[in-house]
Amino acid sequence: MNVNKAVAMHAIQIARHGGPEVLSVREVPQPTPGADEVLIRTVASSLNPVDWKTRAWEVGPELPATLGWDLAGVVIATNHPGYRPGDQVIAMSAQIATGRGTWAEQVALPARLLAPAPTTVALADAAALPLAGVTALQALNLAAVTAGDHVLITGAAGGVGGIAVQLARRAGATVDALVSRPEHLDAARELGAEHVWHTLADLPRHTHTAVLDTVGIDASLALAPGGRYVSIADHPLPDIPGAAKSYVQEDQDHLAQLAALVDSGELRLRIAHRYPFHEVRAAHERFEAGGVLGKILLTF
């Protein structure tokens, strides 16, 4: 393997926290993969709430920092026998903890974070899957959602919520949904939700055996006695028995499982907008304006 460390590439970085104006496309050295790592040419990434929070709040690794958690790309060099140049892969990198952001033309990651990309969608579109998909899958696992459950998912038209609706349906549960605005009602139904509401006051009381909150609202009034309440949001949990937070963890097997569901037609990815990476500020502005049905991609 020959990687010229002196070769420059571009990455999206912040040198301070703030609004979209702090995002800059900078020239940085090409990374060199270490032991059991793979060097990937980035095709696309996507925007997640954690990305604008890291940009805006004083959290994350030492600055300047490259942002981004999602990755879809092509292997160009490898120090791991499981991958060869030309392999198409997806990955999720916990950027805040590791400092390895994915918003760069090339990214070096441990092979344990990679999974083969789904083959039935464009490689760039597969960048919509990793963080949102793994978050949804792990939250539903924590809620122990199985066939026969009656599940309420809040934020069901969002990136995590939309995948969670599909996964819960696939598990055999009856799925209801709460969305943020009336124009999202049909989108949640199209994903498989049976009953959809857009205000908390409309929710039926004490009827759902599990609630998954993806947006940070208290929907515990819908939970049946003895039910399970799981949240992925930053907001405090409702003060009820059985409430738990789900914190996403990097997981190669979960990534592979989700990719297989995409290829089998059991999981649909929704792409709302595509921005070239040098238009990242405009992408953040659109994302924070809200009302987006599907993921916003950054293409490289």
| pLDDT score of 295 more than 50 | yes
Which amino acid belongs to residue 86? G
| pLDDT score of 5 more than 60 | no
Instruction: Classify residue 104 by its DSSP letter.
Output: B
What does the pLDDT read at residue 282?
98
- Helix axes of 130-142 and 159-170: crossing angle, nearest 10 degrees: 50
CATH superfamily of 132-245: NAD(P)-binding Rossmann-like Domain (3.40.50.720)
User: What backbone torsions phi and psi does residue 47 show, to the nearest 5 degrees?
Assistant: -95, 135
Which element (helix H / strand E) includes 289?
helix 280-289
What does the pLDDT read at residue 241?
92
How many CB atoms within 10 Å of residue 180? 18
- Mean pLDDT rounded to a whole number for the chain: 96
The pLDDT tens digits of the residues spanning 205-258 come to: 999 999 999 999 999 999 999 999 999 999 999 999 989 999 999 999 999 999
Residues in Cβ contact with 165 at an 8 Å cutoff, skipping those fewer than 6 apart: 153, 156, 175, 177, 188, 191, 192, 193
User: Please, are residues 25 and 108 in contact by the beta-carbon 8 Å criterion?
Assistant: no
| Sequence-ordered alpha helix ranges (H) in 173-270 | 185-191, 252-263
What does the pLDDT read at residue 281?
98
**Rounded CA gap, 296 and 48, in Å?**
8
What tokens does 208 get? 């759902």
**Rounded CA gap, 38 and 162, in Å?**
31
What does the pLDDT read at residue 155?
97
What does the pLDDT read at residue 60?
73
User: Please, are residues 127 and 45 in contact by the beta-carbon 8 Å criterion?
Assistant: yes
| E strand intervals along 96-222 | 106-110, 114-116, 150-154, 174-178, 196-197, 208-213
Segment 61-65 mean pLDDT:
90
8-129+269-299 and 132-245: identical CATH topology: no
| Percent of the chain topping pLDDT 70 | 98
Which amino acid belongs to residue 226? G
Q: Is 157 helix (H, G, I), strand (E, B) or coil?
A: coil
Q: Across the strands, what pairs with 106?
A: 41
Residues in Cβ contact with 146 at an 8 Å cutoff, skipping those fewer than 6 apart: 171, 172, 173
What does the pLDDT read at residue 3?
46
Segment 41-60 mean pLDDT:
92
What does the pLDDT read at residue 6?
57
Angle, vertex CA 119, rays to CA 284 and CA 297, nearest 5: 5
Radius of gyration over every alpha carbon of the chain, rounded to an integer in angstroms: 19
Domains of the chain: which residue ranges?
8-129+269-299, 132-245
| pLDDT score of 78 more than 90 | yes
The pLDDT tens digits of the residues spanning 140-168 come to: 999 999 999 999 999 999 999 999 999 99
What does the pLDDT read at residue 59?
73
CATH of domain 8-129+269-299: 3.90.180.10
- Helix axes of 280-289 and 49-56: crossing angle, nearest 10 degrees: 110
Instruction: Classify residue 40 by its DSSP letter.
Output: E
What does the pLDDT read at residue 2?
44
The pLDDT tens digits of the residues spanning 79-122 come to: 999 999 999 999 999 999 888 999 999 999 999 999 999 999 99
